[in-house]
Each structure stands twice: as structure tokens, then as C-alpha cells.
Amino acid sequence: MAALSHAAKGNDMKKNIHVPDLHCRSCVLKIEALKDRLPGITRIQANIQQRTVDVTFDETRISAKQIDIAIQTLGYHPESTGPLQGTAQVTLPVTGMSCSSCAWLIESTLRQLPGVVRATVDLAGERLRLEFDPAKVDLRTILLRVEQTGYGIPTGKADLPILGLRDPSDASALERLLAKQEGVLSAHVNWGAEQFTLEFIPGMTSLAELAGLVRSAGFQVVPGVGEKESEDLESGLRARELQQQKELLFLGLIFTVPLILFSMARDFGLAGFPHDQFAMFIPATLVQFLVGWTFYRGAWRSLRAGGANMDVLIVLGSSVAYFSSVGVTLGLIQSPHV
């Protein structure tokens, strides 16, 4: 929370800001250095033990909001008293991040959207905190922009039977009720089939909460398989992502370990046969483009969005090594080592 109070001197204000990720001396120095960078701040003191920052500032020269934003640009997440008038605050799960460059790319991309007031990414918690104007931008547009950047926001879909709908007006009223709930991307109620379809963001809401809302509106939801399967959707998606990475790692090891051992033995004259460089070319190519395809895809999306994340670094390094070896294999580069 952030608390404001008037100081004794003229237009000076005092603000106490809670910064949960303030945890080292370097953090303190970075935040306190804002006094020299921002006009209007007369005093700023950070406290590691209490995770707070005390600021005294001239409200005619700088606003409390500007101080919050300045702290955010340093990579911290000050807890504000709440959203500005007419804006909404949401926290979304994000998948696919691997480094601080990923977080920066998502933040900078979303801040370019009209209506987005604030976008901060918690890399460790894999969470995106947003403040935006719903009149200018909606959640679906934000999700699409995150996906275009090369990352993902898990969404859940469910179809559940419903009893008690008397006419189409009941269906329309229920649709409006569900659509305005936080975390719901779309809601469709089929009066004839007595079924409702939902698309929502796990972590912002759950299917159990939405089913409870339907019941509180006077209708009966028939529990189904979809309700149980969608409850732990986010963790399920993360588990599948981790499993896919493990499978790619295992596949890479199968081809890479024998290739390295043979290559080293070949360099020392302990192994080899005529044209063996072409035999080495096959597993190297499989590892580079089959196992490494996710890096190429992530690098392309990152560059297209105007940034450079860890995928770009990996692709540059591995591609230089691979294509130089191809040059040696084809005789374009003269070297005894492939």
C-alpha cells in the first residue's frame, strides 16, 4: 500500500510506498538515486527490513503517480493504493519466459498499446500485472499482443449443461452477467441446447467460481467432466510445457553425446572413417533444427517485436557454430576440425 500525507513545508507531500521486491543494498541505492534524477523529490529513503520507501516531494513539480512509475522502470513493483479512475488492474499468468529480457519485451510491447497505463512482469512468479482502460483496450487484445511477442497466457474453455432457462431473455441476461466478470473472455449461453460455453483466464477466476455465480443467479449447473478438468488448467499447461522441454532435452542428449565423443576421438586420431564428416552432419542438423526449433521461433518473434531475448542469443551462437561446420564439411572452409 502507499500512504500520502502533507509535510510541514509548503507543497511538500510525504509518501510511504510498499515495495515487496526490495531485498538488497543495491536495490536501496538504485531507488534512492531517483532523488538526483527526478525534479521535485526532496528526500527518499528505502528500508530493506520493512520493504518500504519513504518519499518527500513537491506535488507542484512531480506527482505520486510519476514516482510509482519511476520505481517500476527500475524493475520493482510498488504497491499502489489502487487503479486510477476509469482503469482496471489485473494479474495474468504468463508462460514461455526464460530471462529478464523476456520480461522487458512483454512490458515494452504492452505499454505501446493505447489504454495501457502500466505493465510490469514478475519473472520469478511468471505473472503480468496490468493497469489499463477497458474503454480503450480489452483483455483479448492484450492476450493477442502477448502471443505475438512469443509468449503465452493460459486460457481455459468449458461447456457445461444448465437447467432452469425459461426463455431466450434468461440466456441473454446470464451471458451479460458472466461476460462482465473479471477474467472472463467470452460467454455464450445456448437456450435451446441448455448449455453455456465459457473462455476464461485461470488465476483471475475459476470455473467453480463462475458455476457458483450461475447457481446464485437461480439456475442449476450440471457438474461435468469439463468443470473438473479446467480447475487446474494453468498448472497443467505449465506441466506440459516442462514435459515437452524434458523430451527435447533427452532427444538432444541422444544425438549430441555420441557426436561429441566421436568428434573428440576423431580429433585425437582414435576414430574415424572416410567421409565421416557427413555422418556427423546428420545428427548435428537434427539437434540444431529439430531440438532447437523452439529457440528459432522465439528469436523470430522477439526480433519481430523489436527486442532481443535469450532465444536470439542462443540462435546466434549455435547457428554460427553449425554453419561454420557445414562450411568445413562442404569444403568451403579449410580446417581439420568439423
Domain final residue pick, 81, 98, 118: 81
Per-residue model confidence (pLDDT) at position 225: 45
Indicate if the pLDDT at residue 132 is higher than 90. no
- For residues 110 and 143, the answer to whether their CB atoms sit within 8 Å is no
Residue 246 lies in a domain: yes
Indicate if the pLDDT at residue 283 is higher than 50. yes
Backbone phi and psi for residue 220, each to the nearest 5 degrees, phi listed first: -110, 125
Q: Do 77 and 87 reside in the same domain of the chain?
A: no
Per-residue model confidence (pLDDT) at position 319: 93
Q: Is 166 exposed, middle or buried (0-12, 13-18, 19+ CB in 10 A)?
A: exposed
pLDDT class of 288 with cuts at 50, 70, 90: very high
Q: Do 74 and 99 reside in the same domain of the chain?
A: no
Q: pLDDT: is 254 or 98 the higher one?
A: 254
Sheet holding 220-221, edge to edge: 184-190, 195-200, 156-163, 220-221
By residue range, what is the domain housing residue 298? 235-329
Q: Do 67 and 38 reside in the same domain of the chain?
A: yes
Q: pLDDT: is 68 or 285 the higher one?
A: 285
Indicate if the pLDDT at residue 337 is higher than 90. no
Domain final residue pick, 216, 231, 246: 231
> Tell me: the pLDDT tens digits for 137-146?
888 899 888 9
Q: pLDDT: is 86 or 229 the higher one?
A: 86
Residue 12 lies in a domain: yes
Helix axes 310-329, 276-286, angle to 10 degrees: 160
Q: Do 254 and 300 reside in the same domain of the chain?
A: yes
Residue 37 lies in a domain: yes
Q: Do 91 and 25 reside in the same domain of the chain?
A: no
Per-residue model confidence (pLDDT) at position 320: 93
Q: How many domains in the chain? A: 4
Average pLDDT score over residue span 226-245? 65
Residue 204 lies in a domain: yes
Residue 335 lies in a domain: no
> Tell me: the pLDDT tens digits for 299-332?
887 787 677 778 888 999 999 999 999 998 888 8
CATH number at residue 121: 3.30.70.100
Percent of the chain with pLDDT over 70: 89
Residue 91 lies in a domain: yes
Q: pLDDT: is 108 or 222 the higher one?
A: 108
Q: Do 308 and 295 reside in the same domain of the chain?
A: yes
Per-residue model confidence (pLDDT) at position 300: 84
> Tell me: the pLDDT tens digits for 173-193?
888 888 888 888 888 888 888
Residue 336 lies in a domain: no
Domain final residue pick, 95, 118, 153: 153
pTM given for the model? 0.57
pLDDT class of 9 with cuts at 50, 70, 90: low
Average pLDDT score over residue span 209-221? 82
pLDDT class of 121 with cuts at 50, 70, 90: confident
- For residues 211 and 227, the answer to whether their CB atoms sit within 8 Å is yes
Query: Strand runs (DSSP E) across the chain, as ranges?
Result: 2-6, 12-18, 41-47, 52-58, 88-93, 116-122, 127-132, 156-163, 184-190, 195-200, 220-221
Per-residue model confidence (pLDDT) at position 122: 87
Per-residue model confidence (pLDDT) at position 231: 47
Per-residue model confidence (pLDDT) at position 137: 87
> Tell me: the pLDDT tens digits for 256-279?
999 999 999 988 888 888 888 899
Indicate if the pLDDT at residue 233 is higher than 70. no
Indicate if the pLDDT at residue 162 is higher than 80. yes
Indicate if the pLDDT at residue 232 is higher than 60. no
**CA nearest neighbour of 130 among 148, 106, 154:** 106
Indicate if the pLDDT at residue 10 is higher than 60. no
Average pLDDT score over residue span 103-123? 86
Q: pLDDT: is 193 or 1 the higher one?
A: 193
Average pLDDT score over residue span 49-65? 84
Residue 301 lies in a domain: yes
**CA nearest neighbour of 198 among 151, 231, 235:** 231
Question: Which region among 37-41, 111-115, 163-167 has the lowest average model confidence (pLDDT)?
Answer: 163-167
Per-residue model confidence (pLDDT) at position 229: 47
pLDDT, mean over the chain: 82
Indicate if the pLDDT at residue 215 is higher than 90. no
